Amino acid sequence: MPPKKAATTRRTRRTKKPGVTIPDAIRLMTEEHGPFANEPRLDPAHELTFTILSQHTSDRNSERAFRSLMERFGTLEAVAAADVDAIEEAISGGGLAKIKAPRIKTVLNRILELNDGSLDLTFLAEMPMDEARAWLRQLPGIGPKSAGIILSFSLGMPAMAVDTHIFRVSQRLGIIGPKVNADKAHEVLEAAMAPEDVYPFHAAFITHGRKVCKAQRPLCGACVVNYGCPSRDEKAMQEMAEAAAAVANDSADSDRPDGQAPGRRRRGGKSATPTPVPHTQVVKELQP
């Protein structure tokens, strides 16, 4: 009699379930990295221009390009009227100038067409958020992230702007599923939290992504939400636990009364100066 065939075991797919709630994640990350500055930004048309310059470019380069553009032309109306070649030359320090110069000119001129010859977009703040977003999305090259940046940072509306850090941390924590793309993530995340949590979430997650949940080597052992993270790196957790145990054994020699590993910031030890979120920092420097 042939041996019984082993029962085929179905490979169970590891689904990521968030073990940490969004409010808890915001609170813990803010305790760790905050408080965060929430400062006024550029007006919407300048913010929009800056946003185009920052696409696929480092903060430093986009800042340089924006500064150079405004020094050269003085006003956005002058940029709208300028030759593409001249715009390209002015922003050449920022990268992708060949693509961004015509895009900036086209967008500014489209705003002038749609808005009775004015680049003042503050009227968007009076509209329901979905309509304001749709108005911006009709502009060429303005996707959900750019629209979210303008609505949120420039107009103070509770719009989500999902950058690469926020997307990565949200996905690793299981707050958005593996099939949700970056565009869709805006909707999913906005629907997942109260409007008043949108900015705190943005500030907390972008900073956490930059400092701890890095793209290549996330520092899971030092992560304040590792207890509920389905993507945590168990090896890193183990190494951190061993390092902490070694320090605890040496505590007689330690000058840290809380027994924490050296270099680890004490939780709740808030600094007096609010931490600027990256975008705030850049734009603040650009303001006259």
Of 77 and 233, CB closest to ligand SF4: 233
**Binding-site size, ligand SF4 (CB under 6 A):** 15
Of 99 and 180, CB closest to ligand SF4: 180
Based on the shown chain and the rule CB under 6 A, indicate whether residue 173 belongs to the binding site for ligand SF4: yes
Based on the shown chain and the rule CB under 6 A, indicate whether residue 94 belongs to the binding site for ligand SF4: no
Of 16 and 284, CB closest to ligand SF4: 16
Q: How far is the CB of 59 from ligand SF4 (least distance, A)?
A: 22
Q: Write the CA distances from 5 to 8, 24, 177, 212, integer angstroms.
A: 8, 48, 36, 48
Q: Please count the residues of the chain.
A: 288
Residue choice 193, 223, 240, 283 for contact with ligand SF4 (CB under 6 A): 223
Of 45 and 212, CB closest to ligand SF4: 212
Residue 202 C-alpha from the chain's centroid? 6
Of 155 and 173, CB closest to ligand SF4: 173
Phi and psi dihedrals of 17, rounded to 5? Answer: -115, 130
* Residues 6+ away with beta carbon under 8 Å from 245: none
Q: How far is the CB of 220 from ligand SF4 (least distance, A)?
A: 3
Cβ atoms 170, 185 nearer than 8 A: yes
Based on the shown chain and the rule CB under 6 A, indicate whether residue 145 belongs to the binding site for ligand SF4: no
Enumerate the H helices of the chain as residue ranges: 22-33, 44-54, 59-73, 76-81, 84-90, 97-114, 129-137, 144-149, 164-172, 182-191, 195-211, 234-249, 278-286
Based on the shown chain and the rule CB under 6 A, indicate whether residue 101 belongs to the binding site for ligand SF4: no
Based on the shown chain and the rule CB under 6 A, indicate whether residue 166 belongs to the binding site for ligand SF4: no
Of 86 and 261, CB closest to ligand SF4: 261
Q: How far is the CB of 177 from ligand SF4 (least distance, A)?
A: 15
Based on the shown chain and the rule CB under 6 A, indicate whether residue 232 belongs to the binding site for ligand SF4: yes
Based on the shown chain and the rule CB under 6 A, indicate whether residue 213 belongs to the binding site for ligand SF4: yes
Of 186 and 232, CB closest to ligand SF4: 232
Q: How far is the CB of 219 from ligand SF4 (least distance, A)?
A: 6
Residue choice 69, 139, 160, 220 for contact with ligand SF4 (CB under 6 A): 220
Based on the shown chain and the rule CB under 6 A, indicate whether residue 229 belongs to the binding site for ligand SF4: yes
Q: Which segment (29-37, 42-50, 142-150, 228-236) binds ligand SF4 by CB under 6 A?
A: 228-236
Q: Which tokens is 22 given?
A: 């969004």
Q: Write the CA distances from 261 to 102, 139, 155, 208, 237, integer angstroms.
A: 52, 51, 42, 20, 14
Radius of gyration of the chain (CA): 23
Residue from 118, 122, 120, 86 nearest 104 by CA: 86
Cβ atoms 188, 144 nearer than 8 A: no
Compute the distance between CA of residue 99 and CA of residue 85 in angstroms, rounded to an integer. 11
- Applying CB under 6 A, which residues contact ligand SF4? 169, 172-173, 212-213, 218-220, 223, 225-226, 229, 231-233
